[in-house]
Amino acid sequence: MKLSFKLYPFSPTSENQKSIGEIVILHGLFGSSKNWVTVAKALSEFGSVYTLDQRNHGDSPHANEHSIKLMSEDLEEFLSDHQIQNPILLGHSMGGLVAMYFDFTHQGVLKTLIVQDIAPRSYPFVYEKEIASMSFPLGGFSSRTDIDTEMAKYLPDTFIRQFLQMSLERLDSGEYRWKLNVSGLNQARRVFDHPFPEVIHSDTRVLFIVGGASEYITKDDLILIEKFFTNVKIKTIPFGGHYIHFTHQKEYLEILNKEVLLNS
């Protein structure tokens, strides 16, 4: 599948600065490349940055099938089409699972793997409220405010509603639509159920950045990470949740600068 993407060209801050290579970013479930604009601009100081829309998200095509394996294959196709070799691959949540799957099945391809707040294991699909908040008909709504009011009946969390609404598009006709393939994602409820191949092992240089208050990473997960990755560092942002690239952006970028970008 040909994925939509946004390119942030290498923009060095000095004449003698050399690129550390291409950086590819994979968003999480219900996200898109739009969630990574600020981070991508910051990282472009070190190399060209590609923010991808994964299948059924953003401006990428919709498909009936949605799995970690297929998204890894989409990534492989993207890297081949754009002749990107040995990239730094950053994945958040669902994107982190895709990034780990790609690394497990393509040893030696990545220069560095960066995984944000997700572990190499199964996860339940616990997004009924999110799906419900995007499943009512949008016909007749004339403003985002009215849509948000209706969404709040299903999803009280304002932060998550605003996050979802980054995928809400107003057409030239004035009507609204979701860029997300809501029905397709709703049917892919086993997407995080045993998503990896049988052999799970990596010697790739890996950095995990996790939120100290996140429900996605447990103490057992930290043990699991060190079991499967032989060359790994784990950095925790205290009090951070699942969206630390947004809520704790300064600390997040400082970790990337210290652990990856300045040492590549």
Compute the average pLDDT of residues 236-258.
Answer: 96
Give the domains, in start order, of the chain with CATH numbers: 5-124+190-263 (3.40.50.1820), 128-179 (no CATH)
What are the angstrom distances between the C-alpha of 106 and each of 66, 86, 199, 237, 264? Answer: 20, 11, 12, 29, 20
Compute the average pLDDT of residues 104-115.
Answer: 97
pLDDT, greater one: 138 or 261: 138
Mean pLDDT score across all residues of the chain: 96
Write down the residue that tokens 């095509």 correspond to: 61
Compute the average pLDDT of residues 144-167.
Answer: 97
Q: How confident is the model at residue 140 (pLDDT cuts 50, 70, 90)?
A: confident
SS3 sequence of the chain: CCCCEEEECCCCCCCCCCCCCCEEEECCCCCCHHHHHHHHHHHCCCCCEEEECCCCCCCCCCCCCCCHHHHHHHHHHHHHHCCCCCCEEEEECHHHHHHHHHHHHCCCCCCEEEEECCCCCCCCCCCHHHHHHCCCCCCCCCCHHHHHHHHCCCCCCHHHHHHHHHHEEECCCCCEEECCCHHHHHHCCCCCCCCCCCCCCEEEEEEEEEECCCCCCCHHHHHHHHHHEEEEEEEEECCCCCCHHHHCHHHHHHHHHHHCHHHC
Q: Which of 37, 19, 36, 15 is nearest to 27 (CA)?
A: 36
Give me the pLDDT at residue 114, please.
Answer: 98
Q: Would you say the pTM of this structure is higher than 0.95? A: yes
Tell me the C-alpha distance between 223 and 70, whole Å. 28
Q: How confident is the model at residue 79 (pLDDT cuts 50, 70, 90)?
A: very high
